[in-house]
Amino acid sequence: MYEPAEPPPPGPTDPHPAPDRPAPEPGPADAFLGALREALGPGLTTVDADVLETYRTDSAPLCASGTPLALVRPRSTEDVVKVMRLADRYAVPVVPQGARTGLAGGANAVEGCVLLSLERMNAIVSIDPVNQTAVVQPGVVNADFSRAVAEQGLHYPPDPASWESSTLGGNVATNAGGLCCVKYGVTTDFVLGLEVVLADGDVLRTGRRTVKGVAGYDLTRLFVGSEGTLGVVTEITLRLVPPAQVPLTAVAFFPAMEPACDTVTELMRGPVRPSLLEIMDRPSVDAVGSYRDLGFPADAQAVLMTQSDRGPLAPDDLRHFEEVAARHGGEVMIAADPAEGEMLLAARRLLAPALERLGAFLSDDVCVPRSALTDLVSGVAGIAERHRLLITCSGHAGDGNMHPTVVFDRNIPEQVERAQTAFEEIMSLGLELGGTITGEHGVGTLKAPWLERELGPVGLRVQRDVKRLFDPKNLINPGKVLAR
């Protein structure tokens, strides 16, 4: 890893310097920064300490971060190429960044790195209604893109909770999901092709714009979810779908989490796939209730939310949901119209800002087979009791992708230690139940030590071989995903 040279120790002042004494040779950091500014021109590079501090981390607590050498905000693929070629020449690590909404430390600075923020590369290059595709730069915000394609009579389904602020490049980096992935899938299901700047500055194009195509290895799927460790994505070709019908929403209230999970299992083995199926436990409801009054029953220990976007069939879908929930002791409320439906769903979308008011938090995103959902939520409740911590448990029930979130006071070291232990026990539980340590947040630095336990030594070795192939000098987002 590149490290800036330390300044020499101070020496005695020469009162009569020789007039022809040459200027001191610039250190490697100065030489790199000079070359960077010359290549990029004014306005794209900053070394301002306050600005660097702002960009130094993503949204995950307790993840290590280093001091960056500079921040570069490129406007084009050509700018990124120049940065990568200079970084390769001077052996300077590069950390790509989007909106820094990640929850695993994947965008955190490493010591002496260049932070490569792609936020200014935010153009929607094209939307093609005939072929139902779009081409975008990585800095486009998910919600802005979704609204733009809706104006063209099309739909982009991936909708992570951070969709109003997270960028499509960041979504690609972590293979983000969202509330609607139970029916439509995750980011990788909509990425047709990528433009990627490799570690040496070469530009690779993967995939295609056709509906079908199997020529060569599927490098597109390799880069989606690679968390910026194999190259810098500078353009994304996305698949779009026809617009969904206006959804109808229903909410069921249960006396415990277990019957709510049983309802999920029965629904998902049936013939109708809901377009949304979210679950919240009582601590989650209480957290949101302290933030905004939702009018939910005071005795409800679990809340299950669903939607159907099948147009004229939606009322029948919700009646089926009501019947299944009732068999498991649930009381159902069906929204009278889309506006009321959005009001009911607000509880799920408001959970993250509600938790921020309660303290620091570590958000897990373990994903287990749906048949193991009951065992997961009961196990999380036991972990919370054992460690005397508030742990909320909500998530994408239809996928088995849950977000147990450990809330703690970062100013109490003993509580921080208990929170870290609880967080790790939740990951261990997910693996024991046949699941994964991350369904959509990514590995970053937060979960890197756990990757070998999930993949096994051979799997980890192959992953490292892939990393070395694309990044032999280990300069692109080093230390992320693959702990060394």
Q: How far apart are CA 169 and CA 282, in angstroms?
A: 34
Reading the block at residue 45, the tokens are 């590079």
- Per-residue pLDDT at 297 exceeds 70: yes
What is the model's pLDDT at position 244? 83
pLDDT digits (tens, 9 = 90+) for 71-124: 999 999 999 999 999 999 999 999 999 999 999 999 999 999 999 999 999 999
CA 124 to centroid of chain Cα atoms: 21
What is the model's pLDDT at position 416? 96
Higher pLDDT, residue 147 or 213: 147
Reading the block at residue 17, the tokens are 């310097």
**How deeply is 197 buried, as exposed, middle or buried, from its count of CB atoms within 10 A (0-12, 13-18, 19+)?**
buried
Mean pLDDT within 165-178? 95
* Site of tokens 């600075």: 109
Q: Which domains does the chain have, with CATH numbers?
A: 28-117 (3.30.43.10), 124-239 (3.30.465.10), 245-354 (3.30.70.3450)
Is residue 154 within 8 Å of residue 241, measured between CB atoms?
Answer: yes
What is the model's pLDDT at position 483? 67
Q: What is the 3-state secondary structure (H, E, C) of the chain?
A: CCCCCCCCCCCCCCCCCCCCCCCCCCCHHHHHHHHHHHHHCCCCEECCHHHHHHHCCCCCCCCCCCCCCEEECCCCHHHHHHHHHHHHHHCCCEEEECCCCCCCCCCCCCCCCEEEECCCCCCEEEEECCCCEEEECCCCEHHHHHHHHHCCCCECCCCCCCCCCCEHHHHHHHCCCCCCHHHHCCHHHHEEEEEEECCCCCEEEEECCCCCCCCCCCHHHHHCCCCCCCCEEEEEEEECECCCCCCEEEEEEECCHHHHHHHHHHHHCCCCCCCEEEEEEHHHHHHHHHHCCCCCCCCCCEEEEEEECCHHHHHHHHHHHHHHHHHCCCEEEECCCHHHHHHHHHHHHCHHHHHHCCCEEEECECECCHHHHHHHHHHHHHHHHHHCCEEEEEEEHHHCEEEEEEEECCCCHHHHHHHHHHHHHHHHHHHHCCCECECCCCCCCCCHHHHHHHHHHHHHHHHHHHHHHHCCCCCECCCCCCCC
Q: How far apart are CA 38 and CA 163, in angstroms?
A: 36
With cut-offs at 50, 70 and 90, classify the pLDDT of residue 26.
Answer: low
pLDDT digits (tens, 9 = 90+) for 52-61: 999 999 999 8
Is residue 444 within 8 Å of residue 225, measured between CB atoms?
Answer: no
Mean pLDDT within 359-386? 96
Residue 48's nearest CA partner among 71, 67, 30 is 71
Q: How far apart are CA 69 and CA 111, in angstroms?
A: 8
What is the model's pLDDT at position 484? 59
Q: What angle do CA 104, 107, 111 make, to 5 degrees?
A: 115
Report percent pLDDT > 70 for the chain. Answer: 94
Residues in a beta bridge with 252: 304, 332
Q: How far apart are CA 299 and CA 127, in angstroms?
A: 48
Q: Which amino acid is at 251?
A: V
Q: Which of 7-16, 396-405, 424-433 has the lowest mean pLDDT?
A: 7-16
Q: Which amino acid is at 95?
A: V
With cut-offs at 50, 70 and 90, classify the pLDDT of residue 5.
Answer: very low
Q: How far apart are CA 356 and CA 349, in angstroms?
A: 13
Reading the block at residue 134, the tokens are 């779009």
Q: What angle do CA 202, 103, 119 make, to 5 degrees?
A: 45
Inter-axis angle of helices 413-432 and 373-387, nearest 10: 160
Q: How far apart are CA 286 and CA 306, in angstroms?
A: 20
Reading the block at residue 420, the tokens are 């870290």
Average pLDDT of every residue of the chain: 92
Q: How far apart are CA 202 and CA 183, in angstroms?
A: 37
What is the model's pLDDT at position 15? 38
- Per-residue pLDDT at 9 exceeds 60: no
What is the model's pLDDT at position 349? 84
